Amino acid sequence: MSTTTASTDSKRKAPAGERVADWADGRLGIYSLAKANMRKIFPDHWSFMLGEICLYSFIIIILTGVYLTLFFHPSMNEVEYHGSYVPLQGQLMSEAFNSTMHISFDVRGGLLIRQIHHWAALIFVAAMLVHMMRVFFTGAFRKPREVNWLFGFLLLVLGMFTGFTGYSLPDDLLSGTGVRFMQGAVLSVPVVGTYLSMFLFGGEFPGGDFVARFYSVHILLLPGIMLGLVVAHLILVFYHKHTQFAGPGKTNKNVVGMPLLPVYMAKAGGFFFLVFGVIAVVSAIATINPIWSIGPYRPDQVSTGAQPDWYMGFSEGLIRVMPGWEINLWGHTLVLGVFIPLIIFPLVLVTIAVWPFIESWVTGDKREHHILDRPRNAPTRTAFGVAWLTWYFVLLIGGGNDLWATHFHLSINAITWFVRIAFFVAPVLAFIITKRICLGLQRRDKDKVLHGRESGIIKRLPHGEFIEVHEPLSQEQLHTLTAHEQHKPLELGPTVDENGVERKVKGSQKLKAKLSQGMYGEDNQIPKPTVEEYKEITSGHGHH
Amino acid sequence: MSSQDIPEENLPVAQAEGADLDKHGDNPFADPGLPPHEHRIQDIDERAAKRSERTVAFLFTLSMLATIGFIASYVALPVDKSVYIWPLGHISALNFALGTTLGVALFCIGAGAVHWARTLMSDEEIADERHPIEASPEVKAKVLADFKQGAKESAIGRRKLIRNTMFGALTLVPLSGVVLLRDLGPLPEDKLRHTLWAKGKLLVNQNTNEPLRPEDVAVGSLTFAKPEGLEEHDHDFQTQIAKAALMIVRIAPEDIKDKQELEWSHEGIVAYSKICTHVGCPISLYEQQTHHVLCPCHQSTFDLTDGARVIFGPAGHALPQLRIGVNEEGYLEALGDFEEPVGPAFWERG
């Protein structure tokens, strides 16, 4: 009896929120879920918010995109324009272009939403690239996060194509030229190119189908896959728990930071509004894709200075600087001048995506890593990343060679040749320079640990010598600067065994040993200071 | 297995594990543990905390006002009103008002929440333990045993006929989906080889929509032409003009270096495909002195005095020339279709 009273008592007392939560718990098990996650700890570092920018701009794109679908007509039927933008009155254009004009000039706030959608898309892809670079340079992709690295990489690639299909929808002169470029590239594919083109466009270019087809790809297929990947990406972030930088109290076995409720709820939730707010203001003051001044697409018209959205710029660079090689044999044409760039385009992206797997193969490291590397402490990886970025930016320069020429009064011929040479040379130079800088920074860290921080105070000794006073570091700083791990290079060992019989070493093993020496060999990392070295120097020899 | 090739001792020793010295307080590099929490001014001074509270409340209030401003602008401002705002120039008043008010309304919520979190919520760092992602050996053994049990009960290993036919069926069934894609478009056949141009078709000026006479084409001018009968309102206009677009220039006959070009011209008037042979952009820039034309997309440059060969840029072959003449009434006419496909190269082009 008493228990029944107690339970009815507590039921009567429970506040409404708790009763709702009880109801949900009985059906969804939310208490168990919240137990693990409500006070989940997130470490703090400015670079950890880059991924948040991706997530929030993605949400903004979905919200504004849904709004745009309410007004956009994905049709290529030709209509005459009779909207409120006077200069285009009476022009023939597709319904897609017409409805985009309607959104921009006749729907109140339509232009704003369109511009938010487009700006957010540019920011989304940019944030993904920067976020990916953060993960790369800090080694956050190491076990157990390799799969999440791939999810993120796929999101970047899909984001680029969602962007491309999206900006092609208004069927304006600029984007139509971009679609034509894509079709020309598809045609270059040996054997099946013309078939692919016919199937893609429902016949000859441009035909009357591609806007509708791009539309379903842009609003359903690609974002659907991306949404799934984003959810998986986030679940894995929660499951793995966030990485952290080395520091006092921070180990590979713990995660130090603030709890989700309330601090990260407020910070991350607030950050969504900050990102949205900034994009809204940008869209209020900066025009993007002014299709009204570009005009509707006509395959026989074009404007100068045509540029794709920035994330397609590197593919544009590839196609612009490639020599126009064509091989005609046995009645067939191999369009290498277009096909080779088409092949290199995905290769550029894949090059950075496979690094984590190369690195883990070379190190043979099967342990979990939750402490981030400082870029300097992984010189080869950092140098590789910078080399890749250099490669990417060289191609971006190639993609805008006409703009570089007109803005900086350069010869377009010279720029093209510069890009052709830099495509091969610049990454190598960037690699060498970055590695040297990393090693220099490692030496400086070692110096700081062993000799202390330069205080800027000059002291004169009794015998007249001037020295700079070095302040010893605190134990926190000493620990932070020596916490990183250093791999030992892989040795192949003797090529003959103890009986003098030649030992077979597989080619892959030789390659692995070579790479390992290149990453962790004598001149490729500075041995971090040891306790003995530190004690020897600090054990009262006075200055040094 | 590559993992076996790496001796264990090659892996670095983690700082914490290697540093057994620190138990004696002897290791200067040892982890000193989390530093003590430092209080913020809001933690010890209630007046500062009140100030923070007011700041947050002010930001949230500002957001509310901005939303009201958004609705007011939506109602009050006409959609076509433009205003001058320095330094942006003449811009849409409605877009500017809606965007800035929406931006402020959103930003202030964010700024308020972040300020609240940074100054008033606890900023004491908490350490949480990590657990290995890998399952324990017991869990793994249990799962493997369960899997074996399940596989055994299904008899998939024993009854190979079932297994093989199932794989066969599952492999074949997606083919239906592939087959269904066939009607996405027609087969290429020789569609890319033909344009609307044919013997006797007049060259119609794109601007005036009038047939061209030789005297309409002056030296130094670039004229765009389409085949007679092709009108903008035609349902396949875009697709036809994408192949048939023509550019016409007049060059002094003695300046024409290519023999065939001269033969196919009329009194120095030459007609070339306007579609770039690189990836199909329309060529639109013409240098009068040199008779070079340039595609603004990828800067392929063609020399119209020399069979339109490529002199710069990524294009792989010359622009196709259309053979033209003059009919009895004195109008320029085509003497046939292009003899080679126009536009970008493709496998079957040959």
Contacts of B238 in chain A (CB under 8 A): 206-208, 297-299
CA distances from A181 to A213, A377, B187 (A): 17, 43, 21
Asked which of A351, A386, A420 is the last residue of a domain, the reply is A351
Q: Are residues A273 and A201 in the same domain?
A: yes
The answer on A330 and A257 residing in a single domain is: yes
Is A495 a member of any domain?
no
Q: Is the pLDDT of residue B263 over 50?
A: yes
pLDDT score of A11: 54
Query: Do the domain assignments include residue A211?
Result: yes
Substitution target from B1, B13, B17, B95 for chain A, most A beta carbons within 10 A: B95
> What is the distance between the alpha carbons of residues A280 and B102, in angstroms, rounded to a whole number?
6
In this predicted structure, what is the pLDDT of residue A10?
52
- The rounded distance, in Å, linking the Cα atoms of B280 and A90 is 28
Q: A243: pLDDT confidence band, cut at 50, 70 and 90? A: very high
Chain A residues in contact with B97 (beta carbon < 8 A)? 284
Residue B249 carries which DSSP code? E
Where in the sequence is the domain holding A344, given as residue range(s)?
38-42+51-351
Any domain includes A356: no
Pair A126, A207 in one domain: yes
Is pLDDT at B293 greater than 50 in this prediction? yes
A177 and A289 assigned to the same domain: yes
Q: Among candidates B232, B193, B213, which has minimal Cα distance to B348?
A: B193
Rounded CA-CA distance A46/B141 in Å is 42
Statement to judge: residues A335 and A451 lie in one domain: no
Q: Which chain B residue lies closest to A187 (C-alpha atoms)?
A: B346
pLDDT of residue A538: 79
Specify the residue for token string 């119609």. B204
A397 and A515 part of one domain: yes
Distance CA A26, CA A150 (A): 36
From chain A, the residues in CB contact with B187 under 8 A are: 195, 198
Q: How many domains does chain A have?
A: 3
- DSSP symbols for B193-234: G--S--TT-BEEETTT-SB--GGG--BT--EEEEETT--TTS
Q: In the Cβ-directed half-sphere of A395, how many Cα atoms lie within 13 Å?
A: 23
Which among A251, A276, A302 is the nearest to B296, CB-wise? A302
The residue of A46, A204, A402, A492 whose CB has the most chain B CBs within 10 angstroms, and thus the best one to mutate to test that interface, is A204
Same domain for A322 and A387, yes or no, is: no
Q: Do A202 and B235 touch (CB under 8 A)?
A: no
Nearest to B114 among A270, A301, A529 (CB): A270
pLDDT attached to residue B1: 36
Asked if A12 and A122 sit in the same domain, the reply is no
Q: Which two tokens stand for residue A369?
A: 């890593």
Domain stop point among A351, A383, A418:
A351
Q: Check whether A3 has a pLDDT greater than 80.
A: no
**Is residue A358 situated within a structural domain?**
no
Is B17 a residue whose pLDDT tops 60? Answer: no
Q: Model confidence over A144-195: pLDDT tens digits?
A: 999 999 999 999 999 999 999 999 999 999 999 999 999 999 999 999 999 9
One domain for residues A316 and A426: no
Query: Would you say A414 and A401 are in contact if contact means Cβ atoms under 8 Å apart?
Result: no
**Which residues are bridge partners to B282 per DSSP?**
B275
Mean pLDDT, rounded, for B309-332? 93
Q: What is the pLDDT of residues A52-104, one digit of tens each?
A: 999 999 999 999 999 999 999 999 999 999 999 999 999 999 999 999 999 99
B3–A475: do the CB atoms touch at under 8 Å? no
Q: Is the pLDDT of residue B16 over 50?
A: no
Peptide bond connecting B174 to the previous residue in cis, omega within 30 degrees of 0: no
A13 with A74, same domain: the answer is no
> B98 and A284: CB-CB below 8 Å?
yes
User: B114 vs A206: CB contact, 8 Å cut-off?
Assistant: no
Residues 90-119 on A with a CB inside 8 Å of B are 92, 105-109, 111-112, 115-116
CB contact under 8 A, B111 and A111: no
Q: Is residue A8 predicted with pLDDT exceeding 70?
A: no
What is the rounded CA–CA span in Å between residue A177 and residue A198?
18
Residues A139, A81 share a domain = yes
Residues A199 and A229 in one domain: yes
Domain assignment present for residue A365? The answer is no
Measured distance CA(A241)–CA(A254) in Å, rounded? 9
Q: What is the pLDDT of residues B92-136, one digit of tens each?
A: 999 999 999 999 999 999 999 999 999 999 999 999 999 999 999
B12 to chain A: which residues are within 8 Å by CB? 485-488
CB contact A257 to B (< 8 Å): yes
Give the whole-angstrom CA distance, residue A428 versus residue A419.
14
pTM as predicted: 0.92
What residues of chain B lie within 8 A of the CB of A333, using their CB?
Answer: 345-350
> Taking residues A440-467, what's their average pLDDT?
92
Residue-wise pLDDT for A17-53, tens only, equals 999 999 999 999 999 999 989 999 999 999 999 999 9
H or E stretch including A432? helix A412-451
Average pLDDT, chain A: 92
Q: Is A362 contained in some domain?
A: no
Model confidence pLDDT, tens digit, residues A355-388: 999 999 999 999 999 999 999 999 999 999 999 9
CA distances from A57 to A110, A136, B63, B113 (A): 18, 21, 20, 19
- Which residue of B5, B122, B299 is in closest CB contact with A364? B5
**Residue A496 domain flag:** no
CA distance readout (Å), B102 to A216, A284, B76, B97, B165: 30, 9, 16, 8, 61
In the predicted structure, residue A497 carries a pLDDT above the cut 90: no
SS3 B294: strand
Q: What is the pLDDT of residue A76?
A: 95
CA distance B163 to chain A (A): 31
Residue A322: which CATH number? Answer: 1.20.810.10
Q: Hey, of A81, A473, A479, which one would you mutate to test binding to chain B, going by the most B CBs within 10 A of its CB?
A: A479
How many residues does the structure list for chain B? Answer: 350
A2 CA to chain B: closest CA distance, Å? 40
Would you call A117 exposed, middle or buried from its count of C-beta atoms within 10 A (0-12, 13-18, 19+)?
buried
Q: What's the CA gap between A388 and A431, in Å, rounded?
A: 9
